[in-house]
Chains A and B, each alone.
Chain A
Amino acid sequence: MTEFQHDPYREDRPDNPVEPLLRMDRMPSIWCPGCGIGTTVNCFARAIEKIGWDRDNMAIVSGIGCTGRVAGYAKADSFHTTHGRAIPFATGLKMANPKLNVVVYSGDGDLSAIGGNHLIHAARRNLDITVICVNNFIYGMTGGQVAPTTPPGAVASTMPFGNYDPAFNLPKLVASSGAVYVARWTAFHVRQVSKAMKEAMLKPGFSFVEVIAPCPTLYQRRNRLGDGLEEMKYYKEKSVKMNGADPSDPALDLRMRETIGVGKFVDLDKPHYVDAMNDYYETRMGDQYTRYEG
């Protein structure tokens, strides 16, 4: 067996309330200074704590990329899968054990580019999982290439003269595909992010939380947008609360240095996939059918 150095992480400091959700033996994380992913994980830990979920009955699934590393730091059953395929892995987990609380935690490129097909189909099915998408507008792990979320004009390593490739409005995409809960906040809005995550996880069906987060190393720097703190100031000053807005409102499209529409856009009730299957089979087959519970 490979020996590993157990590095007691700052044993001297008082207990941090989010520690129970983290694999402290894997700290410090790989994320850059000023990165927003850690902030979202903090919000996530607090949301779990608020819900009071039994972490023994919870699975976290990530794809590949910077946010894809979240599963590796989360102290629950956690699965670091392939690029773009966290949602179908989560689909297998949830179908095989519908009692398991399943959260997919990944980035914008992972979920909406390579994994876009799975995103829309899981939403269409209204599979009872929560997808948390940290959107930093860029492929961070591979060095800052253009993503389907990169705003118009932004410079990326593969858009050296600025981006001409149209971007997704993710809330619109998932809402039109059938999601029952859709919210967008920024890494500045820690309370709202935590609350949205909590609501999303408690929502039966497909729920989606987009968190806009800084990537100072690759997105901000290359676009001369300042450091992580500058970006937080921008989020604070330019965010516009649009709770209840139609997700296809053009005001929710994202542009550099312009306003960011945030809020909860969708919150509705609809039977989730396994319940719908069970109800349907019961109607069709009557006593011959036993409800599937895993």
Chain B
Amino acid sequence: MPVEVTTADPAGVLTGSHYLDGDHAACEGALAAGCRFVAGYPITPSTEVVERFSVRIAKIPDGVFIQMEDEIASSIAILGGTFAGKKSMTVTSGPGFSLMMEHVGLAAILEAPCVFVNVQRTGPSTGLPTQVGQADMMQARFGSHGDYRAISLCPSSPQECYEFAITAFNLAEKYRCPVFLMMDECVGHMLERVDIPEASEIEVWNRAYTDKEPGEYWPYERKEGDIVADFAKAGDGYRYHVTGLTHDYRGYPVMNHQCQEEMLLHMIGKIDNNAEDIVDFDEDEIEGADVVVLSYGITSRVTVKAILAARANGLKVGHMRLKVVWPFPERRLQEIAPTIKKFVFPELNMGQVSIEAQRLVGLDKVVSVPHCGGTVHDPEVIQAAIEEAAR
């Protein structure tokens, strides 16, 4: 089995109904998922995640937090934590996410399960540090140099920050890749009810550890039919080697294009070929709709108001809310496209994910509703775009 399916360790689960903001809820999700090592560096508006973790982890015996000297250090310390056998996470926003990009690539090439939380603010550069944005979505997809695949989840409520944090860890363990919890400032600072069930009701996936004897184990040798190789942690006696260089199944560097092709096609294929298992979205009144609004994160909440107003005016409007943005729900979008007149795609950026939708169903068929960030859309702007598209 590529992953071991189990239930949460009760030590990290704060069962009950709570009034939490998204940042705190994401921390609780990580703890429930079994995250026991966080390395972080303060940055608005994500800091509350690590602040809560530093308090909570002091009373969980097998967990630890460290505040590193910068985001570069944080983003590689978690890879060390992963190879020492802990589920590991770092948390950041805007400029910190840019600094972490090199180690997103390292996590991808090492096939290191890990979670990066990015509570998005407005950029570029320091931008509006305390205000909302969704403009890191393409960075989450292609931010590090070279080709690779990562997974991005976009919660639109504190409850989802909690739930998606668990999903993020589960997916990281299953696919041995970096997973981004792409929150935004509004969701991160929004206070709502968060229900956390009993530990026994929370499904947690753990990486499969090798059952081979030392001497027989190679870190990237996959069993027939498995998506990823079994894991061995440092100190278990396997004396293995891993490198950020192009490597073969032994983890040894091999400097030629054949090895590069084999390694890269595996790293990309494990996500692309399983995209249908990873993608996740909610649909509302897609059947018979003339216009479908695509949305993710806080923009989904604003969009609902616009959709209800447009429906009240007699328009047939559907809503497809993306919970996982990368990989993008390609198949479903192409499936529904023939009967849809137009898609409307509001985002708190200048149309980043809209480009992906346009690539799939046509430039003319997707109306991007961009926003420079700093606040959310005025629902009337989205409503106007829907009504224009329906005409």
Residue ranges of A at the interface with B (Cβ–Cβ < 8 Å): 1-2, 4, 23, 26, 55-59, 61, 71-72, 75-82, 85, 87-97, 99-100, 117-118, 121, 277, 281, 285, 288-290, 292, 294
Contacts and interface: CB of A to CB of B under 8 A. Distances in A.
B102 A82 contact: yes
B37 interface: yes
Given A80-B245, A96-B64, A90 B235 contact: no
B258 interface: yes
B240 A77 contact: yes
Pairs of residues from A and B, 10 with the lowest C-beta to C-beta distance, nearest first: A92-B80, A96-B84, A92-B77, A80-B243, A88-B73, A56-B237, A93-B80, A290-B61, A97-B84, A96-B81
B83 A79 contact: yes
Contacts of B258: 2
Contacts of B243: 71-72, 79-80
26 contacts: A1-B249, A2-B254, A2-B258, A4-B250, A56-B237, A56-B239, A57-B235, A61-B80, A77-B238, A77-B240, A79-B83, A80-B243, A80-B244, A80-B253, A81-B79, A89-B79, A91-B39, A91-B73, A92-B37, A92-B88, A96-B36, A121-B69, A121-B73, A289-B58, A290-B61, A292-B63
Contacts of B59: 288-289
A95 B241 contact: no
B234 A82 contact: no
B68 A85 contact: no
A181 B150 CA distance: 41
Interface string B232-268: 0111111111111100111011100011001000000
Contacts of B238: 77
Contacts of A55: 239
Contact of B106 (A82, A93, A285, A289): A82
B85 interface: yes
B221 interface: yes
B86 interface: yes
B66 interface: yes
Interface residues of B, number: 55
Given A82-B103, A91-B80, 7 more contacts: A56-B239, A72-B252, A77-B236, A79-B241, A81-B76, A90-B80, A95-B64
Contacts of A117: 69-70, 73
A120 to B, nearest CB: 8
B176 to A, nearest CB: 16
B213 to A, nearest CB: 13
B72 interface: yes
Contacts of A81: 76, 79, 106, 244
B106 to A, nearest CB: 5
B388 interface: no
A85 B73 contact: yes
B276 to A, nearest CB: 27
Given A77-B235, A80-B243, A121-B69, A92 B259 contact: no
Which of B80, B239, B241 has the largest number of chain A CB atoms within 10 A? B80
Given A79-B242, A89-B79, A92-B76, A72 B253 contact: yes
Contacts of A75: 239
A74 to B, nearest CB: 8
B37 A88 contact: no
A23 B241 contact: yes
Contacts of B252: 4, 26, 72
B85 A97 contact: yes
Contacts of A87: 73
B78 A92 contact: yes
A23 B215 CA distance: 12
Contacts of A93: 80-81, 83-84, 234
Contacts of B70: 117
Contact of A96 (B88, B245, B253): B88
Contact of B77 (A23, A95, A281): A95
A288 B61 CA distance: 10
Interface in B11-64: 36-37, 39, 58-59, 61-64
B116 to A, nearest CB: 14
B235 A99 contact: yes
A56 B235 contact: yes
Contacts of A59: 234-235
Nearest to A274: B64
A9 B219 CA distance: 23
